[in-house]
Structures are given as C-alpha cells and as structure tokens.
Structure 1
Amino acid sequence: MDFKEELEEIREAGLYRRLRRMESASSRVVVVEGREMLMCASNNYLGLADDPICKETAMEAIRRFGTGSGGSRLTTGNTALHEHLERELAAFKGTEAALLFNTGYMANLAALTTLVGVGDLILSDRLNHASLIDGTRLSRADVQIYEHCDLADLEKKLAAARAGEHRRILIVTDGVFSMDGDIAPLPGICELAERYGADVMVDDAHATGVLGEKGAGTADHFGIQDRVAVQMGTLSKALGAEGGYIAGSKEMIDYLINRARPFVFSTAQSPAVIGAVLAALQIVQNEPDRRKHLLQRAARLRKELLLAGFNVLPSDTPILGVVIGAADEAVEFARELEAQGIYAPAIRPPTVPEGTSRIRLTLTASHTDADVERIVDALSKARTAQNPHS
C-alpha cells in the first residue's frame, strides 16, 4: 500500500501532523522533546494528572489489585474498585447509576450505537465532537444536524419530526464545545425535548470537574440534572486520568451492560486508573477553589487577549480559541509561540471548519497570574513576528 501521494497532499494543504514527545508529567510546565515549556494546551484543567494524592491512590490500587484487570467486566475484570467508582460517579452526577468505559470516545459510541438505532432520530449540534459524529453515523438512526446552539433551528427540526414515525428522538450536544469553549444552551434544549417528546444526551467531557456548583458538569451548572437522560463524561481531563462513563437511569445502564459492544468486548480499565479517579473525585468536591481560580484566570486571559486585539471566541470556560485563519498561518503562529517557550499547537481542519484554524489555549488550576501575562506577551510577539509591517 502506497500513501506517499496522499501524504504529500496533506503537507501541501498545511494539515500534516506529527507526534510530539512529552518527557515529563502533564503539568503547568512540561518538557517537550528536551525543552522546558509552559503548557497552554492541556485538558488537565484542575492539575490532578500529577497530583500527589492521586498518584498515591493509584499506587495503592496497584498494590492491592495489580497492574491489569485481566479481562472484560463481564468475565474476570470487574473489581470492587470499578463498582465503587461507578457508585461515586452516579452520586456525583445525580443519577441512579453509571457505567465506566475505557475512553470517552468509546462511551459515546456505546451510547449512540446502543440506545438508538433503525427507526429513531438523532438531532446533533453542528459542532459536536468527532466521537459524537461517529457514533451518530454508526447508530443507523436517521440523523439531522441543527445549527450550532441554535434553539430555533432545533425546534424547527423537532416540529418537522413530530409527524414522522420515529420510535425515539435523541438530542445530542456537547456540554462545553471542545474547540470553541462555549456552553450549550442546555435549559432551552431540555425544554424543547420535553415539549416534543425527545430525550437529551450531553457530552460533558470538558465540563466535568469544571462547571457546576459541585463541579459535576453542564447539567449541574444549570441545575437541571434530572432533565438529562444520558450524561456522558470523561476521566481524562479535569479528573486527571483516562476513560469515560455514561450516567443515567439504572434501567439504561443495565441495558448498556448487556448490549453495548464497546463495553462487552473491552478489557476493563486498570486498577491504577480507577484508584486515581476515586481520589480526583473527592478533590473536585472538597476543593471548589480549584475550579474557581481556574475560571477566574481564564476570564482574565480572555479579557487581556481581547484588549490586545486578538480574535478570541466567546467562552466562559478554560478553553480559549484564538482564531488565526488559514491552516499554514496557524501552524507558523504556533511555531513562534514555541520559540518563546509556550506550548500551544495549532488546531486545523478537519477538527475545525476551513478558515478558522486557531491556537486553542487552555489554562489549568496550576497556572498563575504571571503565566497569564506571559501568554499574552508571547501571542503579541508571535503576531508581530508573523506580520512585521502590520
């Protein structure tokens, strides 16, 4: 098989990607291929990936249960740790039950290929994450895309579907959109779902641990946990480990256990991961100042970037999209930042639409006010280096 020509086309379009080697733990400051840099692109929002307590509980889990689970959950891989974490997640999300998956991607595929199918309808936000898009395609349900966070367009499509013969209607949305950082209008979505007999699924990957009174995500943020049928989240971002989960009714979770192929045919997560997340969940709930400081610093960074004249997308979260435009220009901008010791890779199509390539900045609870100043200064210098006569 020869892919040389296709790879060259990718390079010419400014879309070639390569793996970058991290030589230290995910933290505020990292070592990338031998060079120390300020990390400004990590999803480790609360700084828990390198937290001493999380590391210790992970090691304790290894000492008790070993390094691997030894099988799928339905054969030999279901430990007391897995069941404990699922109970904690359900309580955290305000649902009857929860189910763990190896990745957030697998959680979305599991939900969408199991809970809906032929004869059903999925209404999906245009800017939903790739895992939701892939899940809808594999579900075999009818799929309609509504314009991003556009309640009027969503209602128009719901009204048109009312006269159809769909068995189930599921509205699917990110809670926090991963590349823009904006929050879904969840109360309005739930109101429409209730009016038209639909259910709601929220991907809370970037909201878990960050939004809400207790850090439980978008539904917690709006105080409507009981109005969302399917709450998905990840353990790999604010919770500092890896994996995903679905939370909802006990009946739905039982159904996923019996029918969701990504669950049935996957080896269970390792004990270390489960141990680390159990500690992370307690920190999220017991230390609200972490997310408070995170959101305050993110708001300050956005304000400073806007004052400096950057095109920053609207956001009330730690995700700040600084739109550059063309893919090659964004790549060069990222190179300029890296030269100044700032690690924030360019985000390009197909991750974002053509013409909106960007630097996706993310802060963590570990970043300081001095870091915010350094980031703004670095972006300003990168802009000058890229456009010296502007």
Structure 2
Amino acid sequence: MPYSALQAELAARSQQHLYRQRTVIDSPQGAQVLVDGRLLNNFCSNDYLGLAQHPDIIAAAQAGAQRWGVGSGSAALVAGHFGVHDAFEHAAAAFVGKPAALSFCTGYMANLAVITGLLGREDVVFADKLNHASINDACLLSRATFKRYPHNDLAALERLLATTPARRRLIAVDAVFSMDGDTAPLAGLLRLAEQYDAWLYVDDAHGFGVLGDGRGSMAAAGVESPRLIYMATLGKAAGGAGAFVAAEQVVIEYLLNFARPYIYTTAAPPLLSQALLASLALIEQEAWRRERLQQHIATLRGALAGHGLLSSDTPIQPLEVASSAAALQLSAALRERGHWVAAIRPPTVPTPRLRITLSAAHEPLAVAQLAADLRQLLEQAA
C-alpha cells in the first residue's frame, strides 16, 4: 500500500493552507459552543432558526424513542417504514404544497436518489456552476450528459436547452447557494423548464425554514408546477437531520422503485421523524425566529458595508479574502476574540473566504460585536 504517496498529498495540502481537520465541540449545538475549553460565539453553524436544541424537539425525540425504539432495523421497502415516517412524509408534503414526499437520511442521499433515479445515459442534466458538490456528484453518477451553465445565467441555460437533444431533461439548482448566500432565479428557471419540456429540481437546503414564511424558496418565489421537484434538508433550519423530496405522486412512486440510494439503505431512526414533526410545527408557528434572523442580517451588513461582504439577503454572509492563508489567519484572529467563523478554501470554493452564518439564537450584542471585531481586523490588514 503506497502510504507514502498519500502522506505526500496531505503534506502538499498543508503547505497550500488547504489541510482540513475536525473541531471537537463539547456542548450542544447553539449560538455559543464549547471548543477546547472556551465558550465561543458560533458563526459556523447552519442552525439558522436556533432549533437544534429546542426543548419541544428534544421532548418529541425522547417520546419517539419510547414509542418506536431507536433503530429502524431495515430498509424502508422491507420492514423499516414506520407509521411516524409515513406521518412525517404526509406533513412535509402538505407543508410545502406538493402532493407527496419521500424522506431520506441525508440531503446528499436525496440528491443522489433523485438525479440518478430519474436520469440515465439517454438523458441530460443542466446544472448551475455554483451548485453544491452533492448535486455535481449525482449528475456525474447518473451517466446522463452533464451540462453546466454560468451562475444564474438564464440566457446561457436556454441556449443549452435549445441545442441539446435528450429523452429526459432536468435542470438541477441550489435555491440558496451554500457558499455565496445568493438565490437562484426560480421563476425564470421554471419558465425555461416548461418551455423546453424539462423537470426543475430545486435543492432548498439553505432556504427551507428561513424563506417564504418558513416554507422555503419555492414559496418565497411564488412558483409551483408539476414539473418542479423540491428537496429540503432537515439538519439546518429544521434543527434535526435528514431530508425530504416533495413532488407529484408519480415521481415519488418512481423514486420508490428506481432510486437505488433510497432502496438499498436502512431507513432513518423513527424517533427522528417524531422530532421533525415537532420541528415543522415550530417553523410554522414561530415567525419571530425569521424576523430576528433578518434583523441580524441587517445589523451585520450595515456594520460591514464596504468591507467586502458578497451580496446576500440570507443567513449566509461570505467575505472573500486574498488567499487561503489570509482566510485562516482572519479566522484564527476572530477566534482569539471569542468568535468561531469558518475559513472556507479551495477546492470547496474557487475563492477563499470567511463564511459567516447567522442564527435566530444569536443575541444582538454578539452579532454587533462580531461585526465590530471583524471590521477592525480588516482595517488593520488594509
């Protein structure tokens, strides 16, 4: 086994300031977390609504464990689909206004299932160049012709649609782009899907719970169509884990029969569906969380105006920097001041950056202090 070759590649990554390591957290997920014995303001998490440790969701998970046990024990199509799984899928579909839904253990698995399940060698998938890696992986594994268009460029996408023959066509897009924080033009994408006989597959990992009264990017954009297949992850704003795909009944039935990542895996613990039912209720009822989140976004953007934040109206607020080394140095300097902000580097993104994520759980003072400290560091470096 050529371990020396692996070590050499790791060493090269380290020299390029691209080496990755895990950080151990010794507390529950929240606005503040315990890291290496220090309590840090957490501006890394995607827990946008502050639901990850909500007492109602914890109580629902505990009740679910009592009622259903822990492990599902089987694939969903054998003996692993419990009544509470079914109840959650019906509730999720109704919540986003689609006829049916299918739940998955992760968003990555949902993307693999939909794209590889619906498409094959005779088909084509069109994807935004800033899509999440899980969408890109699914497109490659589908064996369909894979066409990428420039970010949010509807004219370029239309040229591809007009000139690419295929049995089936699918446009795959992030609704909120995870590293830039901007949004996809869903109305324009749906218009093109209808015009060129395509499906529109929307990965709303970072919009669900946050946008459109909590119902996500589809509701915020005011779009709906039988051609639209919607996916939401549940480990971010929903405060839990997993994902669901909502679509026409025939699409869900097709995935049940043809989507290998769904068919050949053990179902998620049923207690998780019990917790997610509680999460859906909180997302719907507690609009104040989204209102507070918008206030935090306004505070941060106002305080850092002219200091390099990318344009974003979502909880994802990226700040591009000159190099991976600079990103790491800035992240470390913020940690010294009590703020945990992730340095995101290639190959995850083409341009190094700090990725600041905001949560309704943050106190206004913490957001204001982060902005003040970051502004001071940027001005010192200028």
Range of TM-score over shorter length: over 0.9
1:219/1:228 contact within 8 Å kept: no
CA distance in 2, matches of 1:34, 1:23: 8
1:185 match: 185
CA distance in 2, matches of 1:101, 1:302: 35
CA distance in 2, matches of 1:304, 1:362: 15
Give the counterpart of 1:80 among 67, 78, 83. Answer: 83
Deviation at 1:383? Answer: 2.6
1:349 match: 346
**How do residues 75-114 of structure 1 correspond to structure 2 at under 5 angstroms?**
75-114=78-117
**How do residues 12-91 of structure 1 correspond to structure 2 at under 5 angstroms?**
12-91=15-94
2:226/2:248 contact within 8 Å kept: no
CA distance in 1, matches of 2:201, 2:191: 13
Could you give the per-residue CA deviations for residues 256-311 of structure 1, whole angstroms, max 9, x where no partner exists?
Answer: 111111111111111232121110100011111211221222122122211xx321
Runs of 4+ in 1 over 6 A off after TM superposition: none
Where 2:59 maps in the other structure, the secondary structure is helix
Asked if 1:248 is matched to 2:247, the reply is yes
For 1:248, the aligned partner's letter is A
Task: Give the unaligned 5+ runs of structure 2.
Answer: none
For 1:105, the aligned partner's letter is Y
Deviation at 1:126? Answer: 0.3
CA distance in 2, matches of 1:170, 1:270: 31
2:299/2:368 contact within 8 Å kept: no
For 1:324, the aligned partner's letter is V
Task: Give the unaligned 5+ runs of structure 1.
Answer: none
1:94/1:226 contact within 8 Å kept: no
Deviation at 1:228? Answer: 4.8
For 1:189, the aligned partner's letter is L
Give the counterpart of 1:160 among 147, 159, 163. Answer: 163
Structure 2 length-normalised TM: 0.97
Where 1:56 maps in the other structure, the secondary structure is helix
Question: How high is the sequence identity, in percent, across the aligned residues?
Answer: 42
1:93/1:225 contact within 8 Å kept: no
Paired positions, count: 379
2:125/2:147 contact within 8 Å kept: yes
Deviation at 1:380? Answer: 2.3
CA RMSD of aligned residues (A): 1.2
1:232/1:245 contact within 8 Å kept: yes
1:95/1:249 contact within 8 Å kept: yes
Where 1:181 maps in the other structure, the secondary structure is coil
2:190/2:228 contact within 8 Å kept: no
Where 1:350 maps in the other structure, the secondary structure is coil
2:194/2:227 contact within 8 Å kept: no
For 1:321, the aligned partner's letter is P
CA distance in 1, matches of 2:88, 2:216: 17
1:231 match: 230
1:342/1:378 contact within 8 Å kept: no
CA distance in 1, matches of 2:224, 2:36: 43
Give the counterpart of 2:132 among 129, 133, 136. Answer: 129
Where 2:245 maps in the other structure, the secondary structure is strand
CA distance in 2, matches of 1:50, 1:331: 29
Structure 1 length-normalised TM: 0.95
Deviation at 1:366? Answer: 1.2
